[in-house]
């Protein structure tokens, strides 16, 4: 048996613009997905994902047929797409194409809410499955293999941000294929979750259309790129007030691109009024999570009482990426 965990992430700056080659700064947060893997000689794959969704389910199949389950297909795809991909990557890396696995997933990261839950499952899954087969991969290779999984499941629309950040931990900078860790101070994140999820594909397509039709939208995307570069300098200087101001501006620019939502705006304003240094949506938008910067309890309490906020929690910057748990 091998058990690995990997963190989720928030975007400090740069989502959506990263799709057009601008830099982005995702940060790993202290909310993890844990994957427990045991090899089995009959080649079958059994996935137990009780915590991955609100419903929880178990699927079992042999690899050549469809999973035999009685739950909505989208939930099955969410769990099995990434687990299948992770298992395939592990089989390839360990040169063991016929091996089967029992896989159990526990995740404290809300699904599809801009916190990188699927990347964390893919990274931890590949690490646990390869270690179970006696192969130890460095975090950068885990990141690359997990990226291939996301890329395949999301029909080529994935950036390297989530998988690189989850494998490496800390604050990272992603610009196209160039990914690296950044020096960053402790970042006291507070996350507000509206209980929903945006449709990433539709939101990315919406920004693409806007950008083609209006010069202001193309300018907004490059303004986000400039803002990210300024944000990197603020992180380097440990200037959290400036980081917060830039988060506020980044949310405004995302709003102009049409990817916010009433629930996200309400949480962003509640955080600002409670004294957070800054607040913005994180990820594709449309619903899901906001991230605020505040070392006191005031923002979490304010979010807790904000209509539309289902859960508010603290999740500091996690400097550790994928980690062995067995």
- Indicate if 162 belongs to the active site: yes
Distances 312 to 80, 189, 191, 289 between C-alpha atoms, Å: 28, 11, 6, 9
Residue 89 interacting with ligand PMV (CB under 6 A): no
Query: Which of 114, 170 has the CB closer to ligand PMV?
Result: 114
Tell me: is residue 120 an annotated ligand-binding position: yes
Residue 293 interacting with ligand PMV (CB under 6 A): no
Residue 18 interacting with ligand PMV (CB under 6 A): yes
Site for ligand PMV in 202-231 (CB under 6 A): 204
The nearest distance, CB 186 to ligand PMV, in angstroms, is 22
- Applying CB under 6 A, among 4, 34, 130, 159 the residue interacting with ligand PMV is 159
The closest alpha carbon to 33, from 103, 135, 102, 125, belongs to 125
Distances 274 to 79, 262, 277, 303 between C-alpha atoms, Å: 37, 18, 9, 9
The nearest distance, CB 55 to ligand PMV, in angstroms, is 21
Residue 130 interacting with ligand PMV (CB under 6 A): no
The nearest distance, CB 324 to ligand PMV, in angstroms, is 25
Q: How far apart are CA 148 and CA 142, in angstroms?
A: 10
Residue 10 interacting with ligand PMV (CB under 6 A): no
Residue 161 interacting with ligand PMV (CB under 6 A): yes
Tell me: is residue 246 an annotated ligand-binding position: no
DSSP string, 130-179: HHHTT----HHHHHHHHHHHHHHHTTT---SHHHHHHHH-SBEEEETTEE
- Applying CB under 6 A, among 47, 94, 153, 158 the residue interacting with ligand PMV is 158
Task: Kindly state the tokens that stand for 81.
Answer: 């797409």
Question: Could you tell me if 76 and 57 are in contact, meaning their C-beta atoms sit under 8 angstroms apart?
Answer: yes
Which residue do the tokens 């949480």 mark? 267
Q: How far apart are CA 207 and CA 204, in angstroms?
A: 5
Tell me: is residue 264 an annotated ligand-binding position: no
> Which of 48, 84, 162, 248 is flagged as catalytic?
162
The closest alpha carbon to 107, from 47, 63, 192, 152, belongs to 47
Residue 286 interacting with ligand PMV (CB under 6 A): no
Residue 284 interacting with ligand PMV (CB under 6 A): yes
User: Which residue number is nearest to ligand PMV in terms of Cβ?
Assistant: 283
Residue 37 interacting with ligand PMV (CB under 6 A): no
Tell me: is residue 312 an annotated ligand-binding position: no
Helix (H, G, I), strand (E, B) or coil at 11: strand
- Applying CB under 6 A, among 7, 67, 283, 287 the residue interacting with ligand PMV is 283
Tell me: is residue 111 an annotated ligand-binding position: yes
The nearest distance, CB 2 to ligand PMV, in angstroms, is 27
Task: Kindly state the tokens that stand for 246.
Answer: 């830039």
- Applying CB under 6 A, among 7, 114, 169, 231 the residue interacting with ligand PMV is 114
DSSP string, 34-72: EEEEEEETT--EEEE-TTTSSS--EEEE-SSS-----S-
Question: Could you tell me if 225 and 14 are in contact, meaning their C-beta atoms sit under 8 angstroms apart?
Answer: yes
Query: Which of 19, 182 has the CB closer to ligand PMV?
Result: 19
Sign of CA dihedral 93, 94, 96, 101: negative
Which residues would be at the binding site for ligand PMV (CB under 6 A)? 15-16, 18-19, 114, 116, 157-159, 161-162, 200, 204, 283-284
- Per the annotation, binding residues for ATP are 110-120
Which residues are known to be catalytic?
Answer: 162
């Amino acid at each position: 048996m091998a058990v690995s965990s990997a963190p989720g992430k928030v975007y400090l700056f740069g989502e959506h613009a990263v799709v057009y080659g601008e830099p982005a700064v995702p940060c790993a947060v202290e909310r993890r997905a844990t994957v427990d893997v045991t090899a089995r000689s009959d080649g079958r794959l059994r996935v137990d994902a009780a915590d991955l969704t609100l419903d929880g389910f178990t699927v079992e199949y042999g690899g050549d047929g469809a999973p035999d389950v009685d739950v909505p297909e989208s939930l099955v795809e969410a769990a099995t797409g990434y687990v299948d991909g992770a298992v395939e990557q592990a089989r390839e890396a360990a040169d063991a194409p016929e091996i089967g696995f029992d896989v159990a997933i526990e995740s404290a990261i809300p699904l599809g809410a801009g916190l990188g839950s699927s990347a964390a499952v893919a990274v931890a899954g590949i690490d646990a499955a390869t270690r179970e087969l006696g192969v130890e991969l460095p975090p950068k290779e885990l990141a690359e293999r997990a990226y291939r999984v996301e890329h395949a499941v999301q029909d080529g629309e994935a950036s390297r941000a989530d998988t690189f950040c989850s494998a490496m931990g800390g604050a990272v900078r992603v610009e196209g294929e160039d990914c690296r860790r950044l020096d960053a101070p402790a970042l006291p994140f507070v996350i507000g979750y509206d209980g929903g999820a945006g449709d990433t594909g539709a939101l990315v397509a919406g920004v693409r259309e806007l950008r083609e039709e209006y010069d202001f939208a193309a300018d907004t995307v490059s303004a986000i790129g400039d803002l990210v570069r300024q944000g990197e300098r603020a992180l380097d200087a440990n200037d959290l007030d400036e980081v917060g101001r830039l988060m506020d501006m980044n949310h405004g620019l995302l709003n102009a691109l049409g990817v916010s939502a009433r629930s996200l705006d309400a949480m962003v304003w509640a955080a600002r009024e409670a004294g957070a240094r800054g607040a913005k949506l994180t990820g594709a938008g449309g619903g899901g999570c906001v991230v605020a910067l505040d070392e006191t309890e005031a923002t979490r309490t304010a979010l807790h009482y904000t209509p539309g906020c289902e859960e508010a929690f603290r999740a500091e910057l996690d400097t550790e990426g994928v980690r062995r748990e067995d």
